[in-house]
Structure 1
Amino acid sequence: MINVFVYGTLRKGEANAKLLKSATCIAEQCWTNGLLYDTGYGYPAMKQAPFSRVFGELYALSEADLTRLDQLEGYTEGGTNNLYERIEQTVYTDKGTTIAYMYVASKADLLQRKILNGDWKEHNLLLKQSGTVLYFAYGSCMDQKRIGDAGVAHHFRNMLGVGLLTNYTLRFTRKSTKDRMGRADIVEEGGYVEGKVYNLPIRVLEEYLYGREGAPKAYRPTFVEIEINVKKVQALTFVVTKKEEETAPPQWYKEEILRGAEGYLTVDYISKIQNHINSLKKSKLKIGGM
Structure 2
Amino acid sequence: MYAFVYGSLRKNEQNHHFLEGASLISEQAWTSGELYSGSSYYPLLIKNEASLAYGELYEIDEGMLQQLDRLEGYREKDPDSLFKRETSAVHTQQKSYSAYVYYYPHPPEGKPVLHRDWKVEQLLKKESYYYFAFGSCMDQERFYKSGVQNLFQKIEGGAELQGYHLGFSYHRADGGRADIIERSGDSVEGVVYNITGKALDYLFRREGVTNQVYRPVVVEVTLHNGPVVEALSFTVIHKKENLTPPLHYAREIHRGGRYYLSKNYMERLEQRLQHELPVNEFTKYLQQME
- Output the TM-score relative to the length of structure 2: 0.90
- Note the aligned Cα RMSD (angstroms): 1.8
User: Aligned partner of 1:125: which letter?
Assistant: L
- Which residue pairs with 1:83 in the alignment? 82
- Which residue pairs with 1:227 in the alignment? 222
SS at match of 1:208: helix
- Which residue pairs with 2:132 in the alignment? 136
Matches within 5 A, 1:128-277: 128=125, 131-176=127-172, 179-190=173-184, 191-205=186-200, 207-216=201-210, 217-228=212-223, 229-277=225-273
SS at match of 1:246: coil
CA deviation map 1:135-183 (0-9, x unaligned): 111000000122222211111111111111111110100002xx25100
Structure 2 residues without counterparts, runs of 5 or longer? 281-290
**Regions of 4+ moved over 3 Å:** 279-284
User: Structure 1 residues 198, 282: closer, same or farther in 2, change over 3 A?
Assistant: closer
CA contact (8 A) 1:94 1:189 kept: no
CA contact (8 A) 2:174 2:246 kept: no
CA deviation map 1:38-77 (0-9, x unaligned): 1122211112222311000111122221111111111012
- Deviation of 1:124 after TM superposition, in Å, equals 2.6
SS at match of 1:75: coil
CA–CA distance in structure 2, aligned partners of residues 211 and 280 of structure 1: 30
User: Aligned partner of 1:14: which letter?
Assistant: E
Matches within 5 A, 1:114-129: 114-126=112-124, 128=125
- Deviation of 1:268 after TM superposition, in Å, equals 1.6
Matches within 5 A, 1:33-44: 33-44=32-43
CA–CA distance in structure 2, aligned partners of residues 84 and 258 of structure 1: 49
- Output the TM-score relative to the length of structure 1: 0.90
- Deviation of 1:111 after TM superposition, in Å, equals 3.6
User: Structure 1 residues 111, 193: closer, same or farther in 2, change over 3 A?
Assistant: same
User: Structure 1 residues 183, 283: closer, same or farther in 2, change over 3 A?
Assistant: closer
CA contact (8 A) 2:129 2:232 kept: yes
Question: How much identity, in percent, do the aligned residues show?
Answer: 39
